[in-house]
Amino acid sequence: MKLLMAYLVLAVISQAQRSMLRSPQDVTQGREIYNRSCTMCHGLDGAVGDRAPALGAARRYLRNSEQDLFDAIKKGIPGTAMPPSPMPDGHIWKIVGFIRSLRATASDSFVRGDAASGEKIFWGKGGCGDCHTLGGKGGLLGPDLSNTGGERSLSYLRDSLTTPRPHIPQGYRPVTVTTSDGRTIEGIIRNENNFSAQMLGQDAKLHLLTRHEIREIVYAKQSLMPSDYDKRLSPAELQDLLAFLSRQARSKGSSRQRGENRKS
């Protein structure tokens, strides 16, 4: 009986420790503990260090679960330079929460805002659906956003809406083409080589042109994606749009996250 009670107590403690992984305050504390204790090998704020890899890079990891990360810190990793940690379990769980936050997609994150209002902004005032497809409807000039919350981090989504991109992604560069018979076609270049160009026009049609059919092609220096939504929208509207985008996820567990994300 005593053994059973001890097991139940340990289970309750473990669950309480893991609950901190979803607390913004504890994630912040985890970052502070990490930067004090782990940067001798790993880089500051999860970046690559002199002796160990980045813990928040955009790559696949062997240890992703909360327990795997906890065990790696607590017990070390045999055969590597990763030593066991003498830190209290509570501190280790907070570091785990911080590491998980570095790798979290938007659908894994707590996102304030009214998603229903954000959906209206997406299709209305924001004009996002004019270029982007979502759930099988919308425009074709921009990437499909049906799984953007499951693929991208919250900071990436926010930056996409508010910060100009230094480079235009391949396949989305705006161009204006003048054909040899005098027609003008505006859109984006999907593929091109020395002999032909595949262009998606603003008329939502795919234009296949050989080089002798093109009189002139002018490449735009800026993306079609607006980067001033922090000015087009009010702060509350922008937050609602982010809340809506964060819920666009096909990954497992997204339904749980939809329930956890709530209106502020």
Q: Write the pLDDT tens digit of every residue in 168-211.
A: 888 899 999 999 999 999 999 999 998 999 999 998 899 999 99
Q: With beta carbons less than 8 A apart as the criterion, state whether 255 and 140 touch.
A: no
As a whole number of angstroms, the distance between CA 121 and CA 259 comes to 21
Average pLDDT of the residues in 81-96: 92
H or E element that contains 119: helix 115-123
Among 11-15, 121-125, 177-181, the least confident range = 11-15
Average pLDDT of the chain to the nearest whole number:
84
Q: Is 134 helix (H, G, I), strand (E, B) or coil?
A: strand
Of 239, 230, 198, 240, give the one whose Cα is nearest residue 217: 198
Angle of helix 115-123 versus helix 235-246 axis, rounded to 10: 100
- CB count within 10 Å of CB 116 equals 11
Q: What domains can you pick out in the chain, each with its CATH number?
A: 2-103 (1.10.760.10), 115-163+226-260 (1.10.760.10), 173-219 (2.30.30.100)
Residue 173, beta-bridge partner list: 189
- 150-to-103, 107, 181, 227, 253 alpha-carbon distances in Å: 11, 5, 45, 22, 10
**Percent of the chain residues past pLDDT 90, beyond the cut:** 54
Q: With beta carbons less than 8 A apart as the criterion, state whether 111 and 242 touch.
A: yes
Highest mean pLDDT among 11-20, 143-152, 246-255: 143-152
Grade residue 1 by pLDDT with cuts at 50, 70 and 90: low
As a whole number of angstroms, the distance between CA 239 and CA 113 comes to 5
Highest mean pLDDT among 19-28, 49-58, 245-254: 49-58
- Would the pLDDT of 229 be above 60? yes
At residue 166, the pLDDT reads: 81
Residue 177, beta-bridge partner list: 185, 217
